[in-house]
C-alpha cells in the first residue's frame, strides 16, 4: 500500500450486507487518532452518496487537531452536557428501571454521560453541512443524510465507528461564527468518529414486520420476518415511569 494522497481506496475486510446490518452507533473511543489515509477513504465514500439531481450540496467540515478543532469540540461539549442533563431528568433515566445499574436504561445513561463528558477528547468531529439552493422543505435531507450514512459505514469498514447526533443545534450560533459558515448553509448533523472501545455487531430494532407495509398503510407484509435470532428493542428513549 502506498501513502500517496491519490492512492486507491483500502481493501475491504467485511462484506456490504454484513456492514449494513451490524454497524452500531459508537460513542466510546480509544485515544487513537484517525489518520489522514483513513479520513480520505471515509470522506471519499461519504461523497459517493446520491443527492437530488447530483447537485452534491453537502460539505463536510472535519475537525481533528488544532485550535479551531479544540474550540469546536469544547462548544459542542458544553451544549451536549447541558442538553443531556435536561434529557436525563425529563426522560427519567434515573427512575423506574433506571435505579438498577444493570438495566438498559442505566447503561445508556452511563454511556451518554461519558460521551458528553469526553466530547473534547473525541478523535474526530465532523459537521456535515447542507448548502440550500431553494427554500427549506421536508425532503431536502435526502441530499445530505445518505452521505452521512455512507460516512458511518465507511468508518466501520476501516475499523472505526461513529454516531450521528444533532448536538450542534443547541450551540449553533457560536459554531457558525467560529467556523465562518455562510448564511445559506445548514449544519445537518454532528458526527463523532474514532476507534471503538467496544464492538460493532447486530443492532436492536422493533420487529421488522412493524416497519414494513405491503400495499396500504398498516397492511402486514407476510415476507417481512426478522432472521432467526434477531434481538428486538422498543422504539425511542426509555419511557418516563408512571408518575
50-89 positions binding a copy of itself, by CB under 8 A: 50, 52-64, 66, 68-69
The residue from 43, 74, 83, 106 that contacts a copy of itself (CB under 8 A) is 43
Q: Rounded distance, CA 87 to CA 136, Å?
A: 28
- Under rule CB under 8 A, which residues in 119-138 are in contact with a copy of itself? 129, 136, 138
The piece of 78-86, 97-105, 114-122, 218-226 that touches a copy of itself (CB under 8 A) is 218-226
How far is CA 216 from each of CA 212, 220, 226, rounded to the nearest angstrom? 11, 9, 21
The piece of 75-83, 96-104, 113-121, 150-158 that touches a copy of itself (CB under 8 A) is 150-158
The piece of 73-81, 94-102, 114-122, 232-240 that touches a copy of itself (CB under 8 A) is 232-240
Q: Rounded distance, CA 149 to CA 48, Å?
A: 11
The piece of 73-81, 94-102, 114-122, 162-170 that touches a copy of itself (CB under 8 A) is 162-170
Query: How would DSSP label each residue in 124-179?
Result: EEEEEEEE-SSS--TTGGGGTHHHHHHHHHHHHHTT-EEEEE-GGGGSHHHHHHHH
For residue 21, the 8-state DSSP code is H
Identify the CA nearest to 76 among candidates 166, 1, 167, 207: 167
- Mark 1-40 with x for binding to a copy of itself (rule: CB under 8 A) and - for no binding: ---xxxxxxxxxxxxxxxxxxxx-x----------xx-xx
Question: Minimum CB separation from a copy of itself for residue 73, in Å?
Answer: 13
Helix (H) or strand (E) holding 76: helix 67-90
The residue from 135, 201, 215, 242 that contacts a copy of itself (CB under 8 A) is 215
The residue from 171, 185, 196, 200 that contacts a copy of itself (CB under 8 A) is 185
Alpha carbon 105 to its chain's center: 20
69 vs 118, beta carbon nearer a copy of itself: 69
80 vs 148, beta carbon nearer a copy of itself: 148
Question: Minimum CB separation from a copy of itself for residue 221, in Å?
Answer: 6
Amino acid at each position: 500500500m502506498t501513502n500517496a494522497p491519490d492512492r486507491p481506496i483500502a481493501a475491504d475486510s467485511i462484506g456490504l450486507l454484513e456492514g449494513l446490518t451490524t454497524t452500531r452507533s459508537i460513542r466510546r473511543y480509544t485515544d487513537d487518532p484517525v489518520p489522514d489515509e483513513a479520513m480520505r477513504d471515509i470522506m471519499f465514500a461519504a461523497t459517493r452518496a446520491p443527492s437530488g439531481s447530483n447537485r452534491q450540496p453537502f460539505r463536510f467540515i472535519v475537525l481533528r487537531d488544532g485550535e479551531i478543532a479544540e474550540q469546536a469540540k469544547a462548544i459542542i461539549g458544553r451544549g451536549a452536557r447541558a442538553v443531556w442533563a435536561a434529557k436525563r431528568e425529563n426522560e427519567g433515566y434515573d427512575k423506574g428501571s433506571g435505579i438498577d445499574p444493570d438495566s438498559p436504561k442505566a447503561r445508556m445513561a452511563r454511556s451518554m454521560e461519558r460521551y458528553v463528558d469526553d466530547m473534547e477528547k473525541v478523535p474526530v468531529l465532523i459537521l456535515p453541512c447542507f448548502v440550500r439552493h431553494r427554500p427549506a422543505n421536508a425532503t431536502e435531507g435526502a441530499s445530505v443524510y445518505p452521505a452521512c450514512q455512507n460516512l458511518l459505514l465507511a468508518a466501520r469498514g476501516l475499523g472505526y465507528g461513529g454516531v450521528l447526533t444533532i448536538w450542534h443545534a443547541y450551540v449553533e450560533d457560536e459554531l457558525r461564527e467560529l467556523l465562518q459558515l455562510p448564511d445559506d448553509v445548514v449544519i445537518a448533523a454532528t458526527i463523532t468518529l474514532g476507534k471503538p472501545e467496544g464492538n460493532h455487531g447486530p443492532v436492536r430494532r422493533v420487529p421488522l414486520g412493524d416497519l414494513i407495509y405491503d400495499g396500504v398503510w398498516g397492511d402486514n407484509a407476510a415476507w417481512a420476518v426478522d432472521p432467526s435470532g434477531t434481538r428486538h428493542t422498543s422504539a425511542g428513549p426509555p419511557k418516563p415511569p408512571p408518575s
